Structure 1
Amino acid sequence: MDHSTGGQAAIIVLFGPTGSGKTTFANVASGSSMTVGRGLQSCTKRVETTPVFLVGGRPVVVVDCPGFDDTYLSETETLASVASFLTTTYSKNRKLAGLLYFDKITDTRVGGVSFRHMNMFRELCGTDSLKNVVYVMNMWSEPIKDDEIHRENELRESDEFFGVPLAEGAQMARHQNTKESAHSIIRALLQRETTVPQISRELVDKGLKLEATSAGAVLGSKPEEEIQKLTDEIRQLQSDHAQALQMANEMYERMLEELECEELERYQALEWQIALLEGEHELDQIAREQEWEDYMYAVDASLASALSEMYLREE
């Protein structure tokens, strides 16, 4: 089946937290050079699009969205920016070929805020668009580590993470930071029917305000259990910190004790060497004195013998 859109470029939209590799993926896939953020600060302050490029002979454009944890924009501002692009696209009768959600495979802890952003993305897409969703696992080690595979399985199988959307038609893929890898992910999406995200239909067709949409409701709600989860995480971190500090102190004390023992052993060894040297010096001195006494005794004996012979000759 031909899923082309009358020669129009297929639209692939990128989502995910700051630093998860969205912009790098866009650059690698398209050959463009959008600014990539370093560390925890975001460089994508607004929705950005790549130049049109070809994947399997099909024109494609990648749209890079700021993360919901953006450095400069609030969650509401970010959602409003993304929603504005999606509604404008829908109003022009353009549908999306795919929605990619990026996640770093090296992230071992997922806090309450990250859970909220995952749920917001899911509600933004809606069930009908999940067939066009790919959860992209990024930033793998070379070679891949066992704990990364364990993390991937946890994300795939747990309903707290991607288990539910995967069961409802979403896909999961590894990105190896190469053009071939990026195009492989995009090519799979080009084989599917295009889609309209749930938030676009809610805003355009139903005329809802942003906060009344399914994604906006996730953003606006702060359930008590989520607050409790954050509190528990903070307490756990404090406990881990205190435990680490105690372990560090114990290690430091043990290190001091070991150094003390080593210094004491060195001191005792030096004392023994000094005593030995002093003893050898005294023995040498006694020996030299004895040799001198023996020499003087021999001289005296020789002199006495010579004098005795002289006296005998005179008589």
Structure 2
Amino acid sequence: MGRSKPRPIMVLIVGLTGAGKTTFTRLASGRKDLKVGDGIDPCTQDPVAVRFDLDGRPVVLIDTPGFDDISRTDVEILEDIAKWLVKQGFSKRQPLDGMILLYPILFDFDSSLEKRRTRILQKILGKNAYRRVVVATTMWGSLINEKEVEQDIDMRWKQQGGVWDEFRQGNALLTKHFNTEASAQRILRAVIKASDEAERAKVLIQEELGRKNIRFAETSLGEELECFLQQDITVIHNLLLNHRDERPPEEYRTSNKLKERKEWYRWDAERQELTKNLELRQKQLKRLNSFFFLKFKLLRFWSKLFS
């Protein structure tokens, strides 16, 4: 009887827009036909799975939408990723083995979006899974003074209480990606090696959803998302109040002077945009608090994640 075919190595790739996720996938897989832009569909924002063999082992790289998407909240993105993985069958008998976080060094490392995304990932994984995470910095070929940036990255990695502090303490790996096939495959091999050596430990979200009668909003991840949404609602509400105080005179709406009419419609367009953003966050907060209907599917998915 022949040997059974090894199960695929499942690796999730996350990163901000422009971090180079699709390029990384093309390089790691050797798929030169995979064009940049062939990854995340801008309409559906569904994850995309690319299958190939590395060192004789089947590998699946899963490219995901970034948490910095200004058109959707983190709740929507998380739900879409979970639903897609369940639909594709990755939650049944094919656990995820690791995660690659791509960080472009030319982007602002202190941005609130980056901190928010990193905190969300930490709430999903829990400390036991950090050893199977690789933080790969990108865009090194665009630098003039590489040494200075290296020192800055190293300082940020070692900074207590910083963006990457929990990952570092949990034995995640920080490395450079040089935008070559050899570099991408080296990083992927590091994830595979870490997965092969790691203990079969549950991740945080799995442990929490396994408790009887707990709602998604009561998990560490749910509470984190609720906190972010509440913060957004407060900020936007205050902006609306300040914006209301700057309202132009009513007669500007139908004024014969173009400058005055432009001032009114500019103010009104800003008001409508702020109102739209406020209503979106309020809708997502309500949705988060009634997120119980997805618990079973989420449990099936997260019960296999890094397990």
TM-score calculated relative to the size of structure 2: 0.62
Q: Is the 8 A contact 1:87 1:204 kept in 2?
A: no
In the alignment, what sits opposite 1:176? 178
Taking a change above 3 Å as real, the CA distance of residues 44 and 181 of structure 1, as seen in their structure-2 partners, is farther
How is 1:86-125 mapped onto 2 (pairs within 5 angstroms)?
91-125=91-125
What is the DSSP-based 3-state SS (H/G/I as helix, E as strand, rest coil) of the residue aligned with 1:24? helix
In the alignment, what sits opposite 1:308? none
Amino acid at match of 1:139: M
> Within 2, Cα distance between the matches of 1:44 and 1:58?
30
Specify which of 212, 236, 255 is matched with residue 218 of structure 2.
212
> Within 2, Cα distance between the matches of 1:136 and 1:109?
14
In the alignment, what sits opposite 1:221? 227
Q: Is the 8 A contact 1:83 1:199 kept in 2?
A: no
Q: Is the 8 A contact 1:83 1:200 kept in 2?
A: no
Deviation at residue 43 of structure 1 after TM alignment: 7.5
Q: Kindly indicate whether structure 1 or structure 2 has the higher relative contact order, using CA contacts under 8 Å at least 6 residues apart.
A: 2
> Within 1, Cα distance between the matches of 2:42 and 2:210?
29
Deviations 1:276-302 (A, max 9, x none): xxxxxxxxxxxxxxxxxxxxxxxxxxx
Deviations 1:138-173 (A, max 9, x none): 111356623321331132112311122211121111
Q: How many residues align?
A: 222
Amino acid at match of 1:169: N
How is 1:220-259 mapped onto 2 (pairs within 5 angstroms)?
220-222=226-228
Q: Is the 8 A contact 1:104 1:139 kept in 2?
A: yes
Q: Is the 8 A contact 2:19 2:104 kept in 1?
A: yes
Taking a change above 3 Å as real, the CA distance of residues 121 and 15 of structure 1, as seen in their structure-2 partners, is same
In the alignment, what sits opposite 2:194? 192
Deviation at residue 11 of structure 1 after TM alignment: 0.3
Taking a change above 3 Å as real, the CA distance of residues 142 and 18 of structure 1, as seen in their structure-2 partners, is closer
Taking a change above 3 Å as real, the CA distance of residues 9 and 206 of structure 1, as seen in their structure-2 partners, is farther
Amino acid at match of 1:18: T
In the alignment, what sits opposite 1:66? 65
In the alignment, what sits opposite 1:151? 152
Deviations 1:99-155 (A, max 9, x none): 111111112442223211110011111111111111111111356623321331132
In the alignment, what sits opposite 2:290? none
Pick the structure with greater CA Rg: 1
In the alignment, what sits opposite 1:36? 37
> Within 2, Cα distance between the matches of 1:218 and 1:136?
25
Higher helix proportion (structure 1 or 2): 1
> Within 2, Cα distance between the matches of 1:210 and 1:219?
10
What is the DSSP-based 3-state SS (H/G/I as helix, E as strand, rest coil) of the residue aligned with 1:135? strand
Taking a change above 3 Å as real, the CA distance of residues 15 and 135 of structure 1, as seen in their structure-2 partners, is same
What is the DSSP-based 3-state SS (H/G/I as helix, E as strand, rest coil) of the residue aligned with 1:13? strand
What is the DSSP-based 3-state SS (H/G/I as helix, E as strand, rest coil) of the residue aligned with 1:177? coil
> Within 2, Cα distance between the matches of 1:25 and 1:15?
11
Deviation at residue 28 of structure 1 after TM alignment: 1.9
> Within 1, Cα distance between the matches of 2:44 and 2:26?
13
> Within 2, Cα distance between the matches of 1:160 and 1:37?
34
What is the DSSP-based 3-state SS (H/G/I as helix, E as strand, rest coil) of the residue aligned with 1:114? helix
The percentage of aligned residue pairs carrying the same residue is 25
Q: Is the 8 A contact 1:28 1:182 kept in 2?
A: yes
Q: CA RMSD in A?
A: 3.3
Deviations 1:33-79 (A, max 9, x none): 255289xx9688111111x2122221101001100112543221101
Q: Is the 8 A contact 1:45 1:73 kept in 2?
A: no
In the alignment, what sits opposite 1:48? 48
What is the DSSP-based 3-state SS (H/G/I as helix, E as strand, rest coil) of the residue aligned with 1:7? coil
Q: Is the 8 A contact 2:138 2:176 kept in 1?
A: yes
